[in-house]
Amino acid sequence: MSFPWAKEYTPASGFTKWIDEKLPLPRFVYNAVGAGYPVPRNLNYMWNFGVLAGFCLVLQIVTGVVLAMHYAANAQVAFGTVEHIMRDVNWGWMLRYMHANGASFFFLVLYLHIFRGFFYSSYKAPREMIWLLGVVIFLLCMATAFMGYVLPWGQMSFWGAKVITGLFSAIPLVGEPIQVWLLGGYAPDNASLNRFFSLHFLLPFVIAGVVILHIWALHIPGSSNPTGVEVKSESDTVPFHPYYTAKDGFGLGVFLIIYCVVVFFLPNMLGHPDNYIEANPLSTPAHIVPEWYFYPFYAILRAFTFDFILEAKLWGVLAMFSSILLWFLLPWLDRSPVRSGHYRPLFRIFFMIFVADMAVLFYCGGAPAEEPYVMISQIATAYYFLHFLVILPIVSSIEKPKPLPYSITEAVLGSDKKAVLGENTQPAT
Amino acid sequence: MIRIIAALAGLVFAGVALLAFFNGAYTALTEEPQHSADHEFHLEAHGPKGGFSFDGPTGNWDIAQLQRGLKVYSEVCSACHSLKFVAFRDLEELGYSEAQVKAFAATKQVPGIDPNTGEATTRPGEPTDYFPSPYPNAVAAAAANNNAIPPDLSLMTKARHHGSDYVYSLLTGFTDPATFEKDGKRLMEEFPDFTTPDGLYFNPYFGNLNLAMSPPLVAEGQVTYDDGTKATVPQMAEDVAAFLTWTAEPKLVERRQTGWGVLVFLLFATVLAYFAKKQIWAGVKPKKKA
């Protein structure tokens, strides 16, 4: 599970020896995020976001459990109980703003984590399983966030639930019954709110379970690194603790500063004013938009406006789901033996276009459904699919990568004199 | 094989998206774009001159202004608009004593039950009661207002973009459509067919320009302020916009004050974390070449 030079846990006192015999939990932690886990020495700050995502999950669970103590999932009173939390519960306003903005920051961190994976091809062998589990986590987070946004029972909650469950009605023949089954009625109401609350409480723990598998799978090959060259000897690595605990600690501090500026000074910046209007089935808001973190996929959904064999709506739904599901295929679409984008000149050009394309999709997803935004999002949607499914496989087959450093040590220090497995016992100074 | 199937799927999705694009482009080229009056003559909300006292990260309530705003709400707005998430007890935050709150609550009639007969009746309010609604239910509210239900005002400044500015602009923004112009263009010249239907009132700050609410603040001195402030229309509008900002977010100032403490702590902790990281890594970082 680890490199031969990984430090071994040695219990210091009689008590820890006793614990280590009965339940070696301290040993487990030591090997997972302690000195017993050797990590490449050259990780840059893009490698901070995994730990930050884990922090966000814990933050959401802790604030969410306390909020659930004061919230009632009943369509008659849900909106009022949220206001009760904001006004009468001690520190309720802080818990709610931390939770609502925590979801946004969770997604921000996830997107940066995924961006890291795209650029450094973290999905390639031997790390395919980590990537597949990561996509599962992302899908679960999307479902959880969507259902959480319904709970305050404001206008966007109600109409968002209606639009998103309405997507299933595009499926031929069984679409309508599926939508009714999902909502527990013909429109979002008490039955929908109750089940969404129940699932919104359950899914974070499912996510936590998949996160454990994600980290377990990570510890088998060990972390990737910015050169994409695998670890060869001890001088390529440093123990996770204290090196990366210290680095993650600093990263967490920077993250918390930005997060707290939003929570305490701009708590409604990322939300939508319409959600402070109680849900009203008889009044449709002028622009129904999801939360910002769904914008790119919402733009893809709305880009399909032309009936071609199938109904436009069905194309949109298929494309939206495919746009994420195709990430599952990435380890097999990208054939380049080189992982890091730093050594792949042609890939880098298309990757930059892809990042710009995502930015355009983000913008169009939040814009009203009118020209020129629809036309722009159609071009961007076409590029999105071409990038992953056509360009990436071709580019990875034909490009000539730049020469790779012999080892991580060479990349960091300029030379690696003893780069043979096990021989290099002293960390380079 | 997997790459061939994926490439085909990618080409299909991209192709259908491009078909939709060409269809949209064709429509855009062949059809005249639709201009609408509400799209071109809508005005962005703006705050009063000098802004509100609570603007900015260090802004604070102007307690006297909130008290004046309460008076404007009580004497003008409350005739049609409810304030259902605000309790009388909350008014202690506006600098009123417990006795004053009790006396104020007692002047309002709230729904109650006759202790002898059990029938629905009204009774004087207590500090624990919430501001009563002017109408018994939504049907009565619609019937009394030409089918437009006056919205609850508790959260109004959070339920609109730039809510405090919006309330101020809306209350001072009623004008005559016949002479209204924006950026030198006159509404009636650009859209000669534009009309404000009977029972609606022209207001360029409102989404579709025609608002069901008649101008509520019309005359100087409509409200008599206890602190001697001159009750001009902009003054009353500013005061009630400030009051509604408080009703929507009573913890606004407490939130920011907490935030400053949190940020100072986090900055300190992060600087420490930075130096800790630097020191721990000093041994394994390559020496910088001079």
Mean pLDDT across the stretch B4-18?
A: 94
Q: Residue ranges per domain, chain A?
A: 29-281, 289-398
> In whole angstroms, what is the distance from residue A147 CA to residue A160 CA?
10
Record: contact B266-A249, CB cut-off 8 A: no
Whether the pLDDT of residue A1 is over 70: the answer is no
Whether the pLDDT of residue A201 is over 80: the answer is yes
Q: What is the DSSP letter of A342?
A: G
> In whole angstroms, what is the distance from residue B217 CA to residue B209 CA?
18
pLDDT band at A372 (very low <50, low <70, confident <90, very high): confident
Asked if B57 is an interface residue toward chain A (Cβ–Cβ < 8 A), one would say: yes
Asked if B25 is an interface residue toward chain A (Cβ–Cβ < 8 A), one would say: yes
Which 91-130 residues of chain B touch chain A by CB within 8 A?
A: none
Task: Please give the share of chain B, as a percent, with pLDDT higher than 90.
Answer: 80
Mean pLDDT across the stretch A9-15?
A: 93
Active site residues of A: 219, 223, 247-248, 291
Pick the CATH number of A29-281 from 3.40.50.880, 1.20.810.10, 3.30.420.40, 3.30.565.10: 1.20.810.10
Mean pLDDT across chain A: 93
**Is omega for the bond preceding B124 within 30 degrees of 0, making it cis?**
no
Query: How much is the pTM?
Result: 0.94
* Residues of chain B with C-beta less than 8 angstroms from the C-beta of A260: 259, 262-263, 266
User: What would the pLDDT profile of A74-105 be if each residue is shown by its tens digit?
Assistant: 999 999 999 999 999 999 999 999 999 999 99
Whether the pLDDT of residue A362 is over 80: the answer is yes
Answer yes or no: same fold for A29-281 and A289-398: no
pLDDT band at A428 (very low <50, low <70, confident <90, very high): very low
pLDDT band at A3 (very low <50, low <70, confident <90, very high): confident
Record: contact A305-B24, CB cut-off 8 A: yes
Residues 6+ apart with CB under 8 A from A401: A336, A337, A338, A343, A344, A345
User: What would the pLDDT profile of A207-247 be if each residue is shown by its tens digit?
Assistant: 999 999 999 999 999 999 999 999 988 889 999 999 999 99
Whether the pLDDT of residue B143 is over 50: the answer is yes
Whether the pLDDT of residue B287 is over 90: the answer is no
Task: Please give the share of chain B, as a percent, with pLDDT higher than 70.
Answer: 99
Query: What pLDDT is attached to residue A424?
Result: 46
Query: What pLDDT is attached to residue A421?
Result: 45
User: What would the pLDDT profile of B234-251 be if each residue is shown by its tens digit?
Assistant: 999 999 999 999 999 999
Residue B137: C-alpha distances to residues A86, B82, B141 (Å):
25, 11, 6
Averaging pLDDT over each range in A167-181, A204-218, A278-292, which range is the top one? A204-218
Mean pLDDT across the stretch A186-199?
A: 96
Query: What pLDDT is attached to residue A85?
Result: 97
Mean pLDDT across chain B: 93
Are the beta carbons of B253 and B240 closer than 8 angstroms?
no
Cβ atoms within 10 Å of A356's Cβ, excluding its own: 12
Whether the pLDDT of residue A418 is over 90: the answer is no
Q: Classify domain A289-398 by CATH architecture.
A: Orthogonal Bundle (1.10)
Q: Which of A277, A388, A428 is opposite residue B159, by nearest beta carbon? A: A277
Cα A320-A324-A326 angle, rounded to 5 deg = 110
User: What would the pLDDT profile of B191-215 be if each residue is shown by its tens digit?
Assistant: 988 989 988 999 999 988 999 999 9
Query: What pLDDT is attached to residue B93?
Result: 95
Query: What pLDDT is attached to residue B36?
Result: 84
Query: What pLDDT is attached to residue B288?
Result: 60
Residues 6+ apart with CB under 8 A from B219: B233
In terms of pLDDT, which residue wins out, B32 or B93?
Answer: B93
* Residues of chain B with C-beta less than 8 angstroms from the C-beta of A78: none
Q: What is the CA radius of gyration of chain B?
A: 28
Asked if B5 is an interface residue toward chain A (Cβ–Cβ < 8 A), one would say: no
Which element (helix H / strand E) includes B274? helix B252-281
* Residues of chain A with C-beta less than 8 angstroms from the C-beta of B263: 257, 260-261, 264
